[in-house]
Structure 1
Amino acid sequence: MPRVLVPLASGSEELEAVTIIDLLRRAEIEVVTAGLEPGPVTCSRGTVLVPDVDLDDVVEDDFEMVILPGGQPGATHLDRDTRIHDLLARQAAADRWTAAICAAPSVFASTGLLDGRSATSFPGAVDPKRYPEIRLLEQPVVIDGKIVTSRGPGTAMDFALQLIELLLDADRRAAVEAKLMRPR
Structure 2
Amino acid sequence: MSTVLVPLAQGCEELEAVTIIDLLRRANITVITAGLDEKPVKASRGVVLIPDTTIDQVLPETFDMIVLPGGAAGAENLNRDPRIHQLLKTLFYQGKYVAAICAAPIVLATAALLDNKQATCYPNSLKISHFPTIQLLDSPVVIDGKVITSRGPGTAMDFALILIEKLAGKPIREQVESGLMRPH
TM-score, shorter chain, exceeding 0.5: yes
Q: In structure 2, what is the equivalent of residue 29 of structure 1?
A: 29
Q: Which residue of 1 aligns with 2:171?
A: 171
Return the TM-score normalized by structure 2.
0.99
Ranges in structure 2 where 5+ consecutive residues have no aligned partner: none
The residue that corresponds to 2:65 in the other structure is 65
Q: How many residues align?
A: 184
AA in 2 matched with 1:166: K
Residues in 2 aligned to 1:113 and 1:72: alpha-carbon distance in whole angstroms: 19
Alignment of 1:99-110 (within 5 A): 99-110=99-110
Structure 1 position 32, deviation (Å) = 0.1
The corresponding residue for 1:11 is 11
For residue 138 of structure 1, what is the aligned residue in structure 2? 138
1:11-160 pair list within 5 angstroms: 11-160=11-160
The 3-state SS of whatever aligns with 1:73 is: helix
Q: Return the offset for 1:55.
A: 1.0
TM-superposition CA deviations, 1:146-177 (whole Å, max 9, x none)? 00000000000000000000001000000000
AA matched with 1:97:
Y
RMSD: 0.5
Moved over 3 A (4+): none
Q: What whole-Å deviation, never above 9, does each CA across 1:118-142 have from its counterpart, x for those lacking one?
A: 0000001110111110000000000
Identity across the alignment (%): 58
Q: TM-score, normalised by structure 1?
A: 0.99
- Residues of 2 paired with 1:72 and 1:148: CA distance? 18
How many angstroms apart in 2 are the aligned matches of 1:78 and 1:60? 18
Q: Secondary structure at the match of 2:124?
A: coil
Instruction: Report the Cα offset of residue 59 of structure 1.
Output: 1.3
Counterpart residue number, 2:2: 2
